[in-house]
Amino acid sequence: MSIDEHIPVLLQPTVEALLHKPDGIYLDCTFGRGGHSRALLASLSAQGRLIALDRDPQAVQAMNSIHDTRFQGVRSAFADLDEALDSVGVDQVDGVLMDIGVSSPQIDQADRGFSFRRDGPLDMRMDPQTGESAADFLARADAREIKEVIKNYGEERFAVQIATAIVARRAERAITTTLDLAQIVAGAVRTREPGQDPATRTFQALRIHVNQELAQLEQGLNVAFKRLKVGGRLAVISFHSLEDRITKQFVERLANPKSQQDARLRKLPLPEPTPLMKKLERIKPTKEECELNPRSRSSVLRVAEKLAELPSELNGKGAAWGV
């Protein structure tokens, strides 16, 4: 696979589940290299419309290769989809797609700093022009903060040992490259599952932290719900348990709000909370797809349908509905 090639995961199931209305308006929150966007455009009618977002400057450049009057690309993080939709004059959409994580070109380009197998600057930012790089974080954070990031976002059982090793190394010299960090982690991790590099979980954790991916996902889901039309579809592709858990809990909270309601709220004179979303599908890649594209193995697609708007009389009291 070349560094410019990206095979979109769960492509056909995603298009089939999301695109329920061929002449509708759809939002691809994570354009990447455009695999899902192109497939959606191929299934849209002449009256349909697709808006795509991405904060990665190379992805934004790739948007320019799509010459279709039904398509419009916007440089934006998907947590900011409110402002992005306002900028193109769209109020609500018929479907929202989020493909969480990094694309193959991001991983394969050494100068982006995502890969522990390729030597490059320790960056890891989706948008290299904003925020703190992984190298900057490791240079200023104390051992406790580094440990918490690696433990919470990487689910790494050797987080203490890795954080200790990082702090010890940086006292000697700065940690500035991906292979610097990979070698430090390899020396601190005693055992690992067969076939998994010792640095996998640490690199994942730092990438999530640097880009605030879980906070972006939580905010993006809430705004996506508000921007969906009733009957519209939400499709989220995730690649590890933390992302999938956030998506699952979000949908369940809206699909069964009464079970999520705080006991104190049940005593208030509020209307009975009714479901706002319906769970539709949970799809994993087939064996054939995993063989063709090994990076799809951990992916899962969750699809839900919006059933109703939050009642206007509950503005400011959305907790009764779990939102």
- Asked if residue 36 belongs to a known ligand binding site, the reply is yes
Q: How far apart are CA 31 and CA 103, in angstroms?
A: 10
Nearest to 157 by CA among 182, 186, 192: 192
- Asked if residue 99 belongs to a known ligand binding site, the reply is yes
* DSSP secondary structure of 69-101: TTEEEEE--GGGHHHHHHHTT---EEEEEEE-S
- Asked if residue 197 belongs to a known ligand binding site, the reply is no
Cα 7-297-201 angle, rounded to 5 deg: 105
- Asked if residue 35 belongs to a known ligand binding site, the reply is yes
- Asked if residue 67 belongs to a known ligand binding site, the reply is no
Helix ranges (H only) for the chain are 11-18, 35-43, 57-63, 81-87, 104-108, 134-140, 143-154, 159-172, 178-188, 200-211, 213-227, 241-255, 257-260, 287-292
Backbone angles phi, psi at 49, to 5 degrees: -150, 140
Nearest to 245 by CA among 275, 196, 211, 282: 282
For the chain, report the end-to-end CA distance as a whole number of angstroms. Answer: 42
Q: Report, in angstroms and rounded to the nearest whole number, the Rg of the chain calculated over CA atoms.
A: 21
Nearest to 58 by CA among 109, 115, 10: 109
* DSSP secondary structure of 150-174: HHHHH--TTHHHHHHHHHHHHHHS-
- Asked if residue 94 belongs to a known ligand binding site, the reply is no
Can you read off the two tokens belonging to residue 270?
A: 């509020």
Can you read off the two tokens belonging to residue 172?
A: 């000697």
Q: How far apart are CA 284 and CA 40, in angstroms?
A: 20
Q: How far apart are CA 293 and CA 218, in angstroms?
A: 28
Residue numbering of the annotated binding site: 34-36, 54, 78, 99, 106
What residues are designated binding site for S-adenosyl-L-methionine?
A: 34-36, 54, 78, 99, 106
